[in-house]
Amino acid sequence: MNIQVFGFNDDQDTRKARRFFAERRIPVHYVNLDERPASKGELRRFQEKFSAAGLIDREGRRFRELGLPVRGDSPERMLERVVVEPRLLRTPLVRNGNRLTVGHAPDEWKAWMESERGGRA
């Protein structure tokens, strides 16, 4: 497994994701979005699976601070904004090869592990 976790150090769900893999001794490449925002290409992968609207944290503090509930930008335009305002993303973004999740998704991560074990048998 080649796991990448994109998130923030102060985000509870990001910490849960990192802990999930650490407890199972699965190495993780962690990208702190405060230090290094996700590239447009990386975001595009997640957008293709979850849609632009599915990546935006509409309940988040940064979304409200920027007045976005009132502005009504299109999801695609919001995704462009995410490059400079990564706190607008739902996190964590987790990637295992071509498999992707957004948010805390332990059931999906367990399924990844089971399919990896099944492939080795």
pLDDT in tens, the chain (121 residues): 899 999 999 999 999 999 999 999 999 999 999 999 888 888 889 989 998 888 888 888 888 787 776 455 676 677 777 878 899 899 999 999 999 999 999 999 999 999 887 755 4
CA pair distance 53, 34, nearest whole angstrom = 21
CA pair distance 16, 50, nearest whole angstrom = 21
Q: Determine what percent of the chain is predicted with pLDDT higher than 90.
A: 53
pTM to 2 decimal places:
0.86
Residues 41-76: pLDDT tens digits? 888 899 899 988 888 888 888 887 877 764 556 766
CA pair distance 3, 5, nearest whole angstrom = 7
